[in-house]
């Protein structure tokens, strides 16, 4: 099968083609698993974190990709949830132990044996992949393959982030960064909380204009002061500066939710500007998002179909994965980037 593989940690400031185009043996589904013929795979910022070593894969070569849409080709022993030809999605969560206290409580995203698709197991930058049937999700017909792909991570992690803010209708929400995940959050909020105003912080002018097109009441640079103090903010950036600036824009008792697997170290010194009395006092809080639980894609896909929530997308061929990744690296973002496969 065709696949784009990562053979080791790469410096994307020096190398623009981190993935190698190759042929690999088609995988076979193990017990409880299904074999999926991949049709589309979204391109996520987490792939940059894997390539550059911030969340390094435990083995090489590895096939990245965790926003997967495809068709069931075969089932392993004991797998009976799907039949051949069913359309399914695969998300960041590839597996968990299933019996620890976190798994029992439905928080398998916190399991110490959590394994991520495209990092700890081969992902979707290939013609075929396998996954335990528990972690595959039926995809409603309302979405095309391309539209469905970003929902598996950008949408699902955005949904989890939104739920963790505790936002209520009529409150004020901020979004820092406006890429694949944030633009879906804005659309979710418009549906679930129609009286909630959204303020967007983004360093890229195009992202700010895009946010206003989609209904944000205000958009400014990351370092700008918002016109009003905000009840909650979701940070979707890879940097530290937006965290400090976001805390300055929170109202008393406000919550910042950081939606990032890892933060880059390039501007880590900006944390020295964090001042307790200015940024943290008055019961402000910071909460991280750790992966996604099994239930998040399930709940989110149902909500997305109800809205319906159709993401903005840009398509690339599988062989163009490096180009898509470098555009993401350089901040050329409008919606979500999706690879066409097969």
- Residue 128 and residue 78 share a domain: yes
Query: Is there a contact between 178 and 335 (Cβ–Cβ < 8 Å)?
Result: no
- In sequence order, the 6+-apart residues with CB closer than 8 A to the CB of 96 are 102, 103, 108, 109, 111, 113, 114, 115, 294
Among the candidates 288, 304, 319, a domain finishes at: 288
- Residue 145 and residue 166 share a domain: no
- Residue 6 and residue 137 share a domain: yes
pTM: 0.91
Extended beta strands in the chain, E state:
2-6, 19-23, 33-43, 68-75, 87-90, 93-95, 115-116, 128-132, 136-138, 172-176, 197-201, 218-220, 230-235, 250-258, 285-288, 313-317, 336-340
Question: Which domain CATH number covers 226?
Answer: 3.40.50.720
Largest CA distance in the chain: 59
- Residue 263 and residue 279 share a domain: yes
Query: Which of these, 147, 150, 232, lies nearest to 197 by C-alpha position?
Result: 232
If residue 295 lies in a helix (H) or strand (E), which one and from where to where?
Answer: helix 295-306
- Residue 243 and residue 113 share a domain: no
Among the candidates 288, 310, 328, a domain finishes at: 288
- Residue 89 and residue 129 share a domain: yes
Asked whether residue 265 carries a pLDDT value surpassing 90, the answer given is: no
Strands laid side by side in the 218-220 sheet: 218-220, 197-201, 172-176, 230-235, 250-258, 285-288
- Residue 160 and residue 147 share a domain: no
| Tens of pLDDT, residues 290-324 | 999 999 999 999 999 999 999 989 999 999 999 99
Question: Which domain CATH number covers 110?
Answer: 3.90.180.10
Query: Is there a contact between 178 and 340 (Cβ–Cβ < 8 Å)?
Result: no
Measured CA to CA, the distance from residue 221 to residue 79 in angstroms comes to 50
> Structural domain of residue 230, as residue ranges?
156-288
| Tens of pLDDT, residues 56-105 | 999 999 999 999 999 999 999 999 999 999 999 999 999 999 999 999 99
- Write out the two tokens for 301: 């896909």
- Residue 111 and residue 25 share a domain: yes
Give pLDDT, residue 52: 95
Number of domains the chain contains: 2
- Residue 211 and residue 105 share a domain: no
Query: Which of these, 299, 282, 265, 113, lies nearest to 192 by C-alpha position?
Result: 299
Give pLDDT, residue 307: 96
Give pLDDT, residue 232: 98
């Amino acid at each position: 099968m065709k696949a784009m593989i990562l053979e080791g940690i790469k410096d994307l400031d020096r190398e623009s083609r981190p993935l190698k185009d190759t042929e690999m043996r088609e995988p076979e589904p193990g017990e409880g698993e299904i074999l999926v013929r991949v049709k589309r795979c979204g391109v996520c910022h987490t792939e940059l974190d894997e390539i550059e070593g911030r969340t390094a894969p435990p083995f090489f070569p590895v096939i990245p990709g965790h926003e997967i849409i495809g068709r069931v080709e075969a089932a392993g022993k004991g797998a009976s949830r799907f039949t051949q030809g069913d359309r399914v999605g695969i998300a960041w969560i590839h597996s968990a132990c299933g019996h620890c206290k976190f798994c029992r409580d439905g928080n398998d995203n916190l399991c110490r044996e959590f394994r991520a698709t495209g990092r700890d197991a081969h992902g979707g930058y290939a013609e075929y992949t396998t996954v335990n049937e528990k972690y595959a999700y039926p995809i409603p017909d309302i979405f095309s393959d391309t539209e469905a792909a970003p929902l598996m991570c950008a949408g699902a992690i955005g949904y989890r982030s939104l739920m963790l803010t505790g936002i209520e209708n009529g409150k004020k929400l901020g979004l820092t960064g406006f890429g694949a995940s944030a633009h879906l959050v804005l659309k979710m909020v418009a549906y679930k909380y129609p009286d909630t105003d959204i303020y967007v912080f983004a360093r890229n002018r195009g992202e700010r204009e895009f946010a206003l097109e989609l209904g944000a009441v205000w958009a400014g640079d990351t370092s700008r002061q918002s016109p009003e103090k905000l009840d909650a903010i979701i940070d979707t950036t890879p940097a530290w500066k937006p965290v400090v600036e976001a805390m300055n824009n929170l109202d008393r008792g406000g919550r910042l939710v950081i939606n990032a697997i890892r933060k880059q170290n390039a501007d880590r010194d900006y944390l020295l500007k964090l001042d307790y009395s200015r940024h943290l006092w008055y019961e402000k809080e910071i909460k991280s998002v750790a992966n996604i639980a099994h239930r998040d894609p399930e709940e989110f896909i149902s909500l997305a179909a109800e809205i319906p929530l159709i993401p903005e997308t840009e398509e690339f061929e599988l062989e163009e994965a490096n180009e898509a990744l470098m555009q993401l690296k350089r901040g050329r973002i409008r919606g979500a980037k999706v690879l066409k496969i097969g």
